[in-house]
Structure 1
Amino acid sequence: MALVALGGEVAPVQAEPAAPRAQILDVFFGLDDALPVRAHLLCRGTRVAGMDGVPVTFSRRIAVDNPDPSAFRITTQSGAVHTPRCATLRPALGPSKRHTVLLIGELGSERDLPVRVDVVHSLPLLNGGDAMGLSSDRVTALALGPELRIGYRYAPGELPKARCPNSTLQIVQITWAGGVTAPGGQELGETARMGMRVTLSNGVEVLPIALADLGDNDNYTQLCLDTQTPAEQVTVEPGVAIDPRGDLNPRTSIRITADPEALR
């Protein structure tokens, strides 16, 4: 706590709380030699069709839209070390998003799976700090489907662009390990909504009245709730969503909290 003088008196000034500590929450080996031709749009024209896609999700938001690919080092089971050709936050650039960096390149294979990611050069974080020095060997294997990694709750006014019904009193935003759609490739719809249960702070379980943040090909989904009782957990039943490779999600749950960076 700092002290300042006001008219001869010394008054305390509350210091701004420190930003939460950053960590890598997940490394998702999503695609092996299978990125589509349109993926070059994510990498400012760099040709990346037929390469690997590895989303890396951080607990803190990343400050730059297109991090330096050389900031990342991927090690595979054989001990081989790879540097991505491209690193981007696209398409998840919204102000409440920015947790996931998509790494693209020749980063491993089904026979030589990635087992570790290191951040070896500067990766600036939003609201201060740097992810350089972080590492993780928590790698989701190619054959496994997407799970939940982050869950935050908001008042509707905190997400003014959310396309929730007018009756919405609370929005829960969940972050998957990688981009998701419904089985068959459509956007998450009624079947997905019915497969998502929200546990409130009073122990009651509710279904979202609608899903939002759809149609943008990213790894975020917003659950619209018609209650102000704080959400504390989201559970998604198996088979609700698929990743770009077509792998179904397992049953997955995440604790819901207030967004620690929302007021910064």
Structure 2
Amino acid sequence: MNFMKKNSLCVAAALFGLAHASVVVAEGAQQLAAEQSARPLSAFFGLDNNLPFGANVLCLGASGKDGMPVVLSHTVNPDSLKAEDFRVVRQSGATNTPMCVTLRPASDMDENRTVLLIGEFGNADDDPPVKVLIVDDVLSDATDSPQVNFRGTQVSVIPFDAGPEIILAEAVPKDIWSLSGRGTSCPTATKQMVRVTWTGGVRLPNRDELGEAQRTLYKVSLTAADGSRSEGSPAALADLGDADNNHFLC
């Protein structure tokens, strides 16, 4: 399916089959990167004392801790990330430093913009986190544009009960989406692809992955050179099965 005409795209999701999902519109990351300074786009209190045992692979001792994905405006250099770069402020004013931070599980090629904070950040119903500060150098991984620094930026925390939202959609170059990742791939006949980034991981209420019914709930709006617009669903969903916060619209 041809998603883009003159690089103008808009992705809307009305994924009513997903827990807490809402209707959100996001525009291309290329425009965002060009027009916005480095900043966190979102922080979502996604797991309250509920990281699974498998999270110990990401960070020893993570099981049973809080998990908060922070989505950044630019992809970042993994070598610049340290737990002490981040400060979480609770409703009471108390602050916490994460026990560790990682780009996993959203660490496929060109995905490195979601930093998972792991630690103790308060409780959803008693002194929840309200703000994330970046207090030291966190650098973008730009090679063909000036490197940016997130130091001194901050973002309000999306509450646990609000659930995840779409925060970003971007066209994916073929030299990126043709590479194998940990998730499922688009069909071989795919001509174009859009990556949709959510503020947190998204599954069905029964914890299954998205399927055909959810594919049709994604809508892609196309704007032609003459200004006319059309709308349709992607032919397929991909980048599933890797437990991260990204989907491919194929």
**Fold-level similarity (TM above 0.5):** yes
* Paired amino acid for 1:116: K
**Structure 2 residue aligned with 1:204:** 230
Q: Which has the higher contact order (CA 8 A, sep 6+)?
A: 2
Secondary structure of the equivalent of 2:131? Answer: strand
Tell me, in whole angstroms, the C-alpha distance in 2 between the residues paired with 1:126 and 1:96.
10
Q: Distance in 1 between matches of 2:119 and 2:173?
A: 39
- Check the 8 A contact 1:20/1:60 in 2, yes or no: no
Q: Deviations over 1:148-187 (max 9, x none)?
A: 0110013544421262123322101100001112231111
Q: For 1:140, which of 158, 168, 189 is the aligned residue? A: 158
Q: What is aligned with 1:24?
A: 40
Name the CA distance, whole Å, in 1 between partners of 2:249 and 2:206. Answer: 21
> What corresponds to 1:215 in structure 2?
241
Contact kept, 8 Å, 1:55 with 1:178, in 2: the verdict is yes
Q: Which amino acid aligns with 1:121?
A: D
What is the match of residue 109 of structure 2? 95
Aligned with 1:159 (options 131, 152, 177): 177
Q: Distance in 2 between matches of 1:124 and 1:156?
A: 26
Conserved? CA contact 2:80–2:137, under 8 Å: no
Partner of 1:108: 122
Equivalent residue letter for 1:89: L
SS at match of 2:56: helix
1:225-264 alignment runs, 5 A limit:
none
Give the one of 178, 182, 188 matched to 2:210.
188
User: SS where residue 162 of structure 2 aligns?
Assistant: coil
Q: What secondary structure does 1:170 align onto?
A: coil
- Whether contact under 8 Å (2:80, 2:139) holds in the other structure is no
Tell me, in whole angstroms, the C-alpha distance in 2 between the residues paired with 1:103 and 1:18. 27
Q: Does 1:83 align with 2:109?
A: no
Change (3 A) 1:212 1:35: same
Q: 1:19, CA displacement in angstroms?
A: 9.5
**Residue 149 (structure 2) aligned to one of 120, 127, 130:** 130
Aligned residues: CA RMSD? 1.9
Distance (Å, rounded) in 1 between the aligned partners of 2:80 and 2:151: 15
Given that residues 51 and 62 in structure 2 are in contact (C-alpha distance below 8 angstroms), is that contact kept between their aligned partners in structure 1? Answer: yes
Residues 156 and 168 of structure 1 are in contact (CA less than 8 Å); yes or no, is this contact kept in structure 2? no
CA separation in 1, counterparts of 2:174 and 2:61? 39
Counterpart of 1:207, as a letter, is: S
Q: Which runs of 5+ in 2 are unaligned?
A: 1-32
CA gap 1:66/1:143 in 2 versus in 1, 3 angstroms: farther
> For structure 1, which runs of at least 5 residues remain unmatched after alignment?
1-16, 225-264
Letter in structure 2 aligned against 1:210: A
> For 1:50, which of 49, 56, 64 is the aligned residue?
64
What is the CA–CA distance in structure 2 between the aligned matches of 1:199 and 1:19, rounded to whole Å?
Answer: 22
Aligned residue pairs: how many?
Answer: 205
Which has the larger share of helix?
2
Residues 216-247 of structure 1 show CA distances to partners (whole Å, capped at 9, x for unaligned) of: 100000000xxxxxxxxxxxxxxxxxxxxxxx
SS at match of 2:57: helix
Paired with 2:164 and 2:154, the residues of 1 have a C-alpha distance of 20
Aligned counterparts of 1:19 and 1:184: Cα–Cα separation in 2 = 39
CA distance in 1, matches of 2:131, 2:89: 5
The offset of 1:66, in angstroms, is 7.9
Question: Quick one: which amino acid aligns to residue 67 of structure 1?
Answer: L
Instruction: State percent identity of aligned pairs.
Output: 40
Which residue identity lines up with residue 72 of structure 1 in the other structure? F
